[in-house]
Amino acid sequence: PYNVSITPSRREDPSTRFYLRAGAGVSPRPVLDAVYTPLSSQRASLSLYNYGSGVYTRSFYDFSDRLGVGGKLLSKAGNLDYNLAYHGIFAGSGSYAGGTHSASASMAFTSAASPLSFFKYDVGIDYNYCLDVNSVNPAAEHRFNLFGSIGPNISEKYAFLIDYDFTMASSSLAVLKPHLLFDLGIFDVDAGLKVNYAFVSSKGTLSISPSLNASVDVLKGALKAGLFLQGGRSLNTLYSLKSFNPFYVSGSDIAPLSAERYNAGLSLDGRLFQSLQYSLKGGYAYRSGAVLDSYLSAGSADYRVAYADFSAAYLSERLNANALISFKKSYFDPSASPLVYAPAALRADIG
């Protein structure tokens, strides 16, 4: 969408802040985001927010609104982040009419960085309740998520971490990612494996996928080149599917798991002057059971995709602006004939 951001001028007292973002897509799809921060100090922060967008006509409507409160508490032991939110998703066309109501609460703690600490860790918990009230097949789902990482402090140049993410809903998925991090002068390397264990319909399955990110500082602080190889599985919950497509109805033929068999590519990240940042990333990926749009619903399919993404951001004290251009070329198996739409070949966002 096309957006207008209003950033208040600098003030000596940083305790209260207000942010407003408004715009409209080509559809048109009006957007109105507002954030009010009544408290912002070295020890604590508190923000109230509302993000809304949508379209409404006589025969069709699709709009959503997310409102909540979030903040942070800082201490010598570490940082505590918290968030409480409500997300309403509403859609209707023809004989279908529905509203999805989601309530969530999350909390995460990150240990303070200290050379005297042998271990560094962070741990978080997230709960979401999703109630889908519609004219076809109402549904509800609880989702629990425990996530974080833990590892020893080896040195400033080396680190070993184990990331973990356990999600329980109608199906369950556990992900462990042991990985090594190296800081070798101009080279940065993060290499490991993702171990996924899924429990679906009383049956467990195990898969292992690579996780590699490496980069070299070509021009110190101005240009960095990198390569990556990723993979893994994700859980398709009721809330994630309704967020992806508000016309999705529980019971549709979508697998509870999606997988990225591999995703390999190259990247360039750089900076021009002090305010302009840019990023170019391209690669090739194979996705299995991927969730895609279909006519007034959502479906899943296997496909391969070649892609290139370019993003740029201008950041200054008074003005922030960003742009994204994304190209995709998707390849489906002709014999499968999936009843889904391919990902958009071209996408552009300016904000």
Determine the Cα angle at 81 with ends 80 and 87, to 5°: 155
* Chain segment 121-146, per-residue pLDDT in tens: 899 999 999 999 988 889 999 999 99
pLDDT, tens only, 152-168:
877 778 889 999 999 99
The pLDDT confidence band at residue 18, using thresholds 50, 70 and 90, is low
pTM across the whole model? 0.84
| Least confident residue range of 51-55, 84-88, 281-285 | 51-55
For residue 344, give every residue at least 6 positions away whose Cβ sits within 8 Å of its Cβ, in sequence order, or none: 326, 328
Structure tokens at 341: 């739409």
pLDDT tens digits, residue range 192-229? 999 999 999 888 999 999 999 999 998 887 899 999 99
Do 304 and 285 contact (CB within 8 A), yes or no? yes
Backbone angle region of 128, left / alpha / beta, with phi > 0 → left and psi within -120 to 50 → alpha: beta
- Of the listed ranges 19-28, 38-47, 55-64, 279-288, the one predicted with least confidence: 19-28
CA-to-CA distance for 302 and 288, rounded, in angstroms? 4
